[in-house]
Structure 1
Amino acid sequence: MRTKLAIKTHAMLEHFFPERRVFLKSDNDTRFIRLKPGTQLVALAGSGLLIGWAIVATAIILMDSIGSGNFREQAKRDQRTYQARLNDLSGQRDGRAEEALAAQERFNAALSQISIMQSELLSSETRRRELETGIEVIQSTLRDTMQDRQAARSQLAELETGDGVSAAQIAASSAPMDFLAEALARTAAERDQVIIDAQDALLHADEMAQQIAQMRDQNNTIFRQLEEAMTVSVAPLDKMFRNAGMPTDRIIKTVRRGYSGQGGPLTPLSFTTRGEEPTADTLRANRLIEQMDRLNLYRIAAEKAPFASPVKNAFRFTSQFGFRRDPKTGGRRMHKGVDFAAGMGTPLYATADGVVVSASWSAGYGRLVKIQHEFGIETRYAHMSKMRVKVGQRVSRGQRIGDMGASGRVTGVHLHYEVRVGGKAVNPMIYIKAANDVF
Structure 2
Amino acid sequence: MRTRLAIRFDTMLEAWFPERRLFLKSDTDTRFIRLRPHTQMIGFAGSTLLVAWAIIATAIILMDSIGAGNFRDQARRDQQTYEARLNALAQERDARASEAQAAQERFNSTLEQVSQMQTELLASETRRRELETGIDVIQTTLRRTLKERDAIKRKVAALTDGDQSASQANVTEAESEAMDMVIAALADTATERDIIATDARDAVKTAKELEFQIRLMQDQNDQIFRQLEEAMAVSVKPLDKMFRSAGMNTETILDQVRSGYSGQGGPLMPISFSTKSQELTPDEVRANRILQQMDKLNLYRIAAEKAPFNNPVRASFRFTSPFGNRRHPVTGGNRMHDGVDFAAPIGTDIFATADGVVTYAGWQSGYGRIVKIRHEFGVETRYAHMSRIRVKKGQKVSRGDHIGDMGNSGRSTGSHVHYEVRVNGKPVNPMTYIKAARNVF
Tell me, yes or no, whether TM beats 0.5: yes
The alpha-carbon distance between structure 1 residues 214 and 266, as it changes in their structure 2 partners (threshold 3 A), is farther
Q: Residue in 2 aligned with 1:44? A: 2
Tell me how far 1:382 sits from its aligned partner.
0.5
**Within 1, Cα distance between the matches of 2:230 and 2:359?**
42
- Write the deviation string for residues 335-386 of structure 1: whole angstroms up to 9, x where unpaired: 1111111121111111111111111111000011100000000000101111
Q: Residue in 1 aligned with 2:144? A: 158
Matches within 5 A, 1:269-284: 269-270=273-274, 272-273=275-276, 275-284=277-286
**Structure 2 SS opposite 1:194:** helix
Matches within 5 A, 1:136-151: 136-151=122-137
Q: Residue in 2 aligned with 1:68? A: 53
**Structure 2 SS opposite 1:95:** helix
* 8 Å Cα contact 2:320-2:342 kept in structure 1: yes
Deviates more, 1:183-192 or 1:355-364: 183-192
Tell me how far 1:327 sits from its aligned partner.
0.7
The alpha-carbon distance between structure 1 residues 330 and 87, as it changes in their structure 2 partners (threshold 3 A), is same
Deviates more, 1:78-87 or 1:224-233: 78-87
- 1:416 is aligned to 2:402: no
- Write the deviation string for residues 206-235 of structure 1: whole angstroms up to 9, x where unpaired: 221111111111111111111111110000
Q: 2:271 is aligned with what amino acid?
A: T
Deviates more, 1:158-167 or 1:76-85: 158-167
Q: Residue in 1 aligned with 2:98? A: 112
* 8 Å Cα contact 2:72-2:315 kept in structure 1: no
**Structure 2 SS opposite 1:375:** coil
**Within 1, Cα distance between the matches of 2:324 and 2:131?**
95
- 1:93 is aligned to 2:95: no
Tell me how far 1:71 sits from its aligned partner.
2.9
**Structure 2 SS opposite 1:360:** strand
- 1:131 is aligned to 2:89: no
Matches within 5 A, 1:296-307: 296-307=298-309
**Structure 2 SS opposite 1:330:** coil
Q: Residue in 2 aligned with 1:267? A: 271
**Within 2, Cα distance between the matches of 1:225 and 1:402?**
44
Q: 1:365 is aligned with what amino acid?
A: Y
Q: Residue in 1 aligned with 2:30? A: none
The alpha-carbon distance between structure 1 residues 215 and 266, as it changes in their structure 2 partners (threshold 3 A), is farther
Q: Residue in 2 aligned with 1:352? A: 354
Tell me how far 1:388 sits from its aligned partner.
1.1
* 8 Å Cα contact 1:269-1:282 kept in structure 2: yes
* 8 Å Cα contact 1:131-1:201 kept in structure 2: yes
Q: Residue in 1 aligned with 2:396? A: 394
CA RMSD of aligned residues (A): 2.5
Aligned to 1:193, which of 173, 195, 199? 195
Q: Residue in 1 aligned with 2:25? A: none
Q: 2:272 is aligned with what amino acid?
A: P
**Within 2, Cα distance between the matches of 1:177 and 1:373?**
99
Q: Residue in 1 aligned with 2:162? A: none
Matches within 5 A, 1:22-61: 43-45=1-3, 58=43, 61=46
**Structure 2 SS opposite 1:419:** strand
When the two structures are superposed, what TM-score results if normalisation uses the length of structure 1? 0.84
The alpha-carbon distance between structure 1 residues 87 and 46, as it changes in their structure 2 partners (threshold 3 A), is farther
Q: 2:190 is aligned with what amino acid?
A: A
**Within 1, Cα distance between the matches of 2:281 and 2:255?**
29
- 1:437 is aligned to 2:431: no
* 8 Å Cα contact 2:371-2:382 kept in structure 1: yes
- Write the deviation string for residues 78-120 of structure 1: whole angstroms up to 9, x where unpaired: 3123432332232122122122112212221222222222222
Aligned to 1:366, which of 368, 371, 384? 368
| Identity, % of aligned positions | 46
The alpha-carbon distance between structure 1 residues 363 and 188, as it changes in their structure 2 partners (threshold 3 A), is same
Tell me how far 1:427 sits from its aligned partner.
0.9
Q: 2:70 is aligned with what amino acid?
A: A
Tell me how far 1:164 sits from its aligned partner.
5.8
Q: For structure 1, which runs of at least 5 residues remain unmatched after alignment?
A: 1-42
Tell me how far 1:401 sits from its aligned partner.
0.9
* 8 Å Cα contact 1:266-1:292 kept in structure 2: no
**Structure 1 SS opposite 2:325:** strand
**Within 2, Cα distance between the matches of 1:92 and 1:214?**
41
The alpha-carbon distance between structure 1 residues 82 and 383, as it changes in their structure 2 partners (threshold 3 A), is closer
**Within 1, Cα distance between the matches of 2:177 and 2:263?**
78
Q: 1:267 is aligned with what amino acid?
A: I
* 8 Å Cα contact 2:328-2:335 kept in structure 1: yes
**Structure 1 SS opposite 2:151:** coil
Q: 2:124 is aligned with what amino acid?
A: I
**Within 2, Cα distance between the matches of 1:334 and 1:92?**
33
**Structure 2 SS opposite 1:166:** helix
Tell me how far 1:124 sits from its aligned partner.
1.4
Q: Residue in 1 aligned with 2:318? A: 316
Matches within 5 A, 1:235-246: 235-246=237-248
**Structure 2 SS opposite 1:403:** strand
Tell me how far 1:151 sits from its aligned partner.
2.2
**Within 1, Cα distance between the matches of 2:292 and 2:427?**
35
Q: Residue in 1 aligned with 2:159? A: none
